[in-house]
Amino acid sequence: MAESLNTQLANAVAALAVANDRLELMRARTASASREETAARNAVNEAQKSFDELVALVKGLAPQNTDWKRPRGQEAPR
């Protein structure tokens, strides 16, 4: 025997509620992941900045006629 129209509607409403709850959960997880990705990118940028500053310091302190003093793109003497 087929389910009554009322039962079918009740099942459809319940399925819609479950689907909406899952959608909200996934939206919250997506927002959280986005915040975590931004924090990770910021950490990478900070680490890169520190590294770049150290390389600039090494270049500044390097003896003349070394690769560290050679401008970018300029070939090393042969």
pLDDT tens per residue across all 78 residues of the chain: 799 999 999 999 999 999 999 999 999 999 999 999 999 999 999 999 999 999 999 998 988 888 887 777 777 777
Task: Dig out the tokens for 30 from the structure.
Answer: 């997506």
C-beta neighbour count of 49 within 10 angstroms: 10
Residue 33, amino acid: A
Task: Dig out the tokens for 47 from the structure.
Answer: 């680490």
Contact 69, 62 (CB under 8 A): yes
Q: How far apart are CA 53 and CA 31, in angstroms?
A: 33
DSSP 67: T
pLDDT score of 65: 82
